[in-house]
Structure 1
Amino acid sequence: MEWFTEPDYWLSRLVFQRALAAVYLVAFLAAALQFRALIGSRGILPVPAYLRRVPWRESPTLFHLHYSDRFFAGCAWAGVLLAAALVAGAADRLPLWTAMLMWAVLWALYLSVVNVGQTWYAFGWESLLLEAGFLAVFLGNERTAPPVLVLWLLRWVLFRVEFGAGLIKIRGDLCWRKLTCLDYHHETQPMPGPLSWFFHHLPRPLHRVEVAANHVTQLLVPVLLFTPQPVAGAAAGLMILTQLWLVLSGNFAWLNWLTIVLAVSAIDFSPWVTAPDLPASPLWYEVLVIAVTALVLALSYRPARNLLSRRQAMNRSYDPLHLVNAYGAFGSISRVRQEIVVEGTDEPVVHRGTVWRAYEFKGKPGDPRRLPRQFAPYHLRLDWMMWFAALSPAYAYAWFDPFVERLLTGDPATLRLLRTNPFPDAPPTHVRARVYRYRFTTWRELRETRAWWHRTLVREFRPPMALARTAPY
């Protein structure tokens, strides 16, 4: 079937697959390095307890067959190694069926992780990685021409990511329609980066231009993905530029990078690179791709209906395999930044003059003099959830007290998630948490104080807690 393949996208497919494998590598690395404290057998939200509550049909995962921390670590590091092999091009040296199997194993491993990750993995970019990773299984390798149906499905994913994000903004916070959201966003976003302070202090008219450009890129440009080249490629290029702007202005794990990777698949590189002569695709492969396309289109009904709904939902999966999902981001913008500062003391009795020492996190703001760091595409899951907890204690209901208990016991796995441990010799006797209002300093304040943030105490988040009892003092 001559219509089945599109050789002009041979290089686009290769770049997409190598870059997607790199995102997978980062995701598995984060899982391997963070799981013991978050979801391990003795973690804050242990996987074994979760598996006892949730059946296979609701959360299909390899760990329903067996779970141990050693087994989870083995799966995560296997994902790292397999992703690294795909980045290096191993799949392009193998027969088609073997290459597809490598991508399928990578997808199944990460699905198993996400489906036991609970609140730590309840982010839209987890589903996005799984959806893109599932389609990558059927893209073939260097020895085959890219199947045109899968290329169109990748554009459908990219369209939902961008258009969904644009609609949720227009339907959501009024500041998006007034073009004023970026007066606040750079300061109040979940995890600012090293340039966020400077972005925040750009002139307000430029912020208006940023918001207007964002609306164009997310509401108008995505439609052009379904037009002929070179228009579709130019639309993808505009999306890439917008995503790079977001990469510079904050830390959003691999969301921006994965969107860039999807956009690359829509660019036609044939005017610059000629594809080699490739053999015809085997019949079994063509039948399989057509069947998968039909499945994805059938599963697209609810995500497509969600786009048209006035009650549009952000970042929702409609099936336990995360095959076709709804996306969106920042339907509402916080005007004020609040941060939870966790402190401990080694004094046996808490009194008015007790000296408290703060735990510093790797990514989220703490010490006002510390410039925010760049971590994306790596995902600091605890830091992100601390931002949600500051928005509402409801986000922290299941995990915050267990987190504090592990600080009180000096749990090594939990302490490795933090930047500093103010009690290196022995765990604290008490731990408390307080909410502060943070704002970026002005240029003048920065010169005078050398501080990037100014903070003021708002309220108590958790009273002093001890292992023997949990009670305010």
Structure 2
Amino acid sequence: MDGFAAVDFGLAREVLQRGIAALFMVAFVSTLNQFPALLGEHGLLPAPRLLSWAHSSTSRARMLRPTLFRRLRFTDRRLRVLCVSGIAVAAALVAGIPQLGPPWVPMLCFLALWLGYMSIVSIGQTFYGFGWEMLLLEAGFLAAFLGSADQPPSVAAIVLCWWLVFRLEFGAGMIKIRGGREWRDLTALTFHHQTQPMPGPFSRRAHLLPGWMHRLEVLGNHFAQLVVPWFLFAPILGFWLPGPVPAIIGAVAASLIIATQLWLVATGNFAWLNWATIVLAFSGYGIPGIGAAGPRPDTVTGGLPPFWLAVTCAVAALYLVVSWWPARNLMARRQLMNASFNRWQLANAYGAFGTVTRERIEYVIEGTLDDDPDAATWTEYVFKGKPGPLRRRPAQFAPYHLRLDWLMWFLPLGRSLEGWFQVLLVRLLAADAPTLKLLHADPFDGRRPRWVRVVSYRYRFTTPAQFRESGRIWIRDRRHLLVRPLSA
């Protein structure tokens, strides 16, 4: 680092800008494919109903986060136009085209992605209530101030990326230490690979690892989240300690974070959470002589145009103010997880899996064409990602986000069936085509079932011996008839 310019962070900026833009592409594609059936005009939780409720009074309108649909009437067509526009802008950033211009060009592109996706998240209700939604928004906002290819990134923008990674990792580590006992007695991963929301292709193999390896996994997780993030800030010592050592320490810390995230990618399906962390961790790569960007600074501004220096310093000052709340939250006994302290979702608090469930309970929806439900032959509705057929190996979907599958995992953790789930059953009785597209397949080929019901099962991975004998990935035992047969 020289002055205000992070001259050795050119490679970091390339990965940050293109990687964050690629994740925005995934997010907009996911929304384009799923939002109309989940939240559209005829969705399970119609967004127009939320907007109408918010517009009915001034106090309710203040509760609604910023969205373009506050003034612009929501329609499914306008939602699709917004998604396609977001995909186009993100694709241009992935290709590096806006970065060839002055720094305000990529800035406007990223701010457009930020505002466009915030407009969706703000009306997404429970289907967009995930921590990685606000993570992507904050990452997109910070990426707007990384500059263009003809000059070095500013120190302020790089340091703010470190601060984001620190809150993300250290916050998750503290949530675990303060959460369930299983994280403190090192048994959490004895259950987690089997009970996580959406297992991946290698989750079963990870679950079958010996107990001592699961304990090492937990220890490694604590080290990566509670110790390593502090060393991301080591390059700041370069102002007082000349030489490459501070930068190398920062790069090693980033590498350790990336390595642990790749293990999570290999053993689970956490949408773009892990991939966003990997991309953001690249902000730690600033080794002198590797990936230098722009000319070496020869002025007091560090080679940055004065107006751009003023912009990035203003953003840093803004973050200095709004970071008080998440910093205090990190030290709070009752730490908030995945919380935003302002309407614009900047400087958020992050964290995940403070407790680990020990049993995997799945709600299985079944339908039949028979008239008599007591003597009927029932057929299971198979979802795209969540466990269902016992021989089906879990697939890799991340960074794509299967929102309905994730919400199905949360259902058994609640005390009652949510309203959207009841609407889902009604839509299945009607053989609603958009709803059926959210599933793996329609078991009745467009015909309306006469009855539907919901049965709860406990799922467990098979042991090696059970797999050799049956070829099954899962074994399950029936628990309850949760919802008795319903007809239209």
TM-score band w.r.t. shorter chain: over 0.9
Q: CA deviation at 1:269?
A: 4.5
The one of 371, 374, 389 equivalent to 1:367 is 389
Match of 1:336 in 2: 359
Alpha-carbon distance in structure 2 between the residues aligned to 1:365 and 1:346: 24
Match of 2:481 in 1: 460
Would you say the 8 A contact 1:360–1:418 is kept in 2? yes
Q: CA deviation at 1:356?
A: 0.8
Aligned alpha-carbon RMSD (Å): 1.5
Would you say the 8 A contact 1:371–1:452 is kept in 2? yes
SS of 1:42's partner is coil
Q: Which amino acid aligns with 1:257?
A: W
SS of 1:207's partner is helix
Q: CA deviation at 1:144?
A: 2.2
1:143-292, aligned counterparts within 5 Å? 143-228=150-235, 229-277=247-295, 280-292=303-315
Would you say the 8 A contact 1:82–1:102 is kept in 2? yes
Q: CA deviation at 1:220?
A: 0.7
Would you say the 8 A contact 1:11–1:269 is kept in 2? no
Alpha-carbon distance in structure 2 between the residues aligned to 1:106 and 1:144: 23
Alpha-carbon distance in structure 2 between the residues aligned to 1:269 and 1:112: 38
Alpha-carbon distance in structure 1 between the residues aligned to 2:81 and 2:356: 40
| Residues 1:310 and 2:333 aligned together | yes
Match of 2:423 in 1: 402
Match of 2:62 in 1: 57
User: What CA deviation, in whole Å up to 9, does each residue of 1:120-151 have, x standing for no partner?
Assistant: 00000000000111111111111221010111
Would you say the 8 A contact 1:9–1:268 is kept in 2? yes
Q: Which amino acid aligns with 1:407?
A: L
Match of 2:117 in 1: 110
Q: Which amino acid aligns with 1:392?
A: G
Q: CA deviation at 1:221?
A: 0.6
TM-score after normalising by structure 2: 0.93
Alpha-carbon distance in structure 1 between the residues aligned to 2:184 and 2:171: 16
SS of 1:95's partner is coil
Match of 1:423 in 2: 444
Match of 2:138 in 1: 131
Match of 1:389 in 2: 411
Q: Which amino acid aligns with 2:471?
A: R
Q: Which amino acid aligns with 2:69?
A: F
Alpha-carbon distance in structure 1 between the residues aligned to 2:289 and 2:470: 54
Q: CA deviation at 1:272?
A: 3.2
SS of 2:373's partner is coil
The one of 445, 464, 474 equivalent to 1:443 is 464
Alpha-carbon distance in structure 1 between the residues aligned to 2:31 and 2:259: 29
Alpha-carbon distance in structure 2 between the residues aligned to 1:140 and 1:57: 33
Would you say the 8 A contact 1:14–1:141 is kept in 2? no
SS of 1:285's partner is helix
Q: Which amino acid aligns with 2:478?
A: L
- Percent identity, please: 49
Q: CA deviation at 1:320?
A: 2.0
Q: CA deviation at 1:358?
A: 0.5
Alpha-carbon distance in structure 2 between the residues aligned to 1:405 and 1:262: 42
Alpha-carbon distance in structure 1 between the residues aligned to 2:226 and 2:424: 41
Q: CA deviation at 1:430?
A: 1.5
SS of 2:182's partner is helix
Would you say the 8 A contact 2:248–2:287 is kept in 1? no
| Residues 1:96 and 2:103 aligned together | yes
Alpha-carbon distance in structure 2 between the residues aligned to 1:243 and 1:381: 21
Would you say the 8 A contact 1:143–1:278 is kept in 2? no
Q: CA deviation at 1:275?
A: 3.1
SS of 2:98's partner is helix
Match of 2:28 in 1: 28
User: What CA deviation, in whole Å up to 9, does each residue of 1:282-309 have, x standing for no partner?
Assistant: 2222222111111112111111111111
Q: Which amino acid aligns with 1:46?
A: P
Would you say the 8 A contact 2:8–2:290 is kept in 1? no
Q: Which amino acid aligns with 1:460?
A: L
TM-score after normalising by structure 1: 0.96
Q: Which amino acid aligns with 2:396?
A: Q
Q: CA deviation at 1:420?
A: 1.7
Q: Which amino acid aligns with 1:235?
A: A
- Structure 2 unaligned segments of length 5 or more: list them: 55-59, 236-246, 298-302
Q: CA deviation at 1:185?
A: 0.4
Q: CA deviation at 1:393?
A: 4.3
SS of 2:481's partner is strand
Alpha-carbon distance in structure 2 between the residues aligned to 1:240 and 1:87: 21
Q: Which amino acid aligns with 2:68?
A: L
Alpha-carbon distance in structure 2 between the residues aligned to 1:269 and 1:180: 38
Alpha-carbon distance in structure 2 between the residues aligned to 1:334 and 1:355: 33
Aligned residues between the structures: 465
Indicate how the Cα distance of structure 1 residues 75 and 278 shifts in structure 2: closer, same or farther if over 3 A, else same: farther
User: What CA deviation, in whole Å up to 9, does each residue of 1:209-249 have, x standing for no partner?
Assistant: 11111111111111111113111111010000000000001
Would you say the 8 A contact 2:175–2:354 is kept in 1? yes
Q: Which amino acid aligns with 1:245?
A: W
SS of 2:3's partner is helix
Alpha-carbon distance in structure 1 between the residues aligned to 2:372 and 2:340: 48
Q: Which amino acid aligns with 1:448?
A: E
